Amino acid sequence: MMLHIPQVLSKQQVAHCRQVMDAAQWVDGNITSGPQAALAKNNMQLPETAPEARQLGEMVLDALERSPLFISAALPLKVFPPLFNRYAGGQSFGIHVDNAIRGFPNADFRIRTDLSCTLFLAEPDEYDGGELIVEDTYGEHRARLPAGDMVLYPSTSLHRVTPVTRGARVASFFWLQSMVRDDGQRSMLFQLDTSIQQLVARLGNADAQVVQLTGIYHNLLRRWADS
């Protein structure tokens, strides 16, 4: 499942991110690459331990905690501290799959990467190219979203970023470990939760069918979730 999550950050928050990033020191993006990705990756990145990355990462994490759509779809257990990258001058990221396990430098922090996140920080009219293309059994899915919007997709997917031929594509990217490891089970829970919320809007929380379906949702979550 590939999901568009709109307005994770406000335009004011995006402007603050860009101001901080413009003043920061960028490095080769391969500092976080695995052996396979390093052969395909050509971009710039804020160092993981840079104070600017940590400051902006905390802003992103705070915003995600306030996003019901993100919580419902991802069921996050642990989120990797957000990173920040930039593509310009023909830079791209060829086809690859994300590492299964991610750890933060000099810290006792590891996650299993169940879901990958790209939070766009440049408006689509600021650059040409730079599409995120995610492949699955149903074909290719493309994302080139407004600044402040995010796309969420399974980390098991092959994906790539097309060359940026004008301007700069700026984004935050990170991974998370979900309470529900299996993508099919997680998608089913998301669809059920979405249906329950639609019924609540029409019938209210006290409706007998809403109560019954809510019980089914929580019993499935109890069966499938790690905590």
Q: Which domains does the chain have, with CATH numbers?
A: 3-178 (2.60.120.620), 183-224 (4.10.860)
Stretch 66-86: mean pLDDT = 97
DSSP assignment string, 209-223: HHHHHHHHHHHHHHH
Q: Which amino acid is at 217?
A: Y
Q: Find where tokens 């000099």 sit.
A: 106
On the question of pLDDT at 106 being above 80, the answer is no
* Digit-coded pLDDT (tens) for 133-177: 999 888 999 999 999 999 999 999 999 999 999 999 999 999 999
On the question of pLDDT at 105 being above 90, the answer is no
Q: Which residues contact 92 (CB under 8 A, 6 or more apart)?
A: 42, 43, 129, 160, 161, 162, 163, 164
Stretch 220-224: mean pLDDT = 97
* Digit-coded pLDDT (tens) for 16-62: 999 999 999 999 988 776 666 667 899 999 999 899 999 999 999 99
Nearest Cα to 157, choosing from 192, 121, 120, 117? Answer: 117
**Rounded-to-integer distance, Cα 86 and Cα 27, Å:** 10
The pLDDT, as a whole number, for residue 137 is 85
DSSP assignment string, 105-121: TTSS-EEE--EEEEEE-
The sign one gets for the Cα dihedral 51, 56, 62, 65 is: negative
Q: Please, what is the Cα angle at 84 between 83 and 89, to 5 degrees?
A: 145
The pLDDT, as a whole number, for residue 36 is 63
DSSP assignment string, 4-21: EE--SS-HHHHHHHHHHH
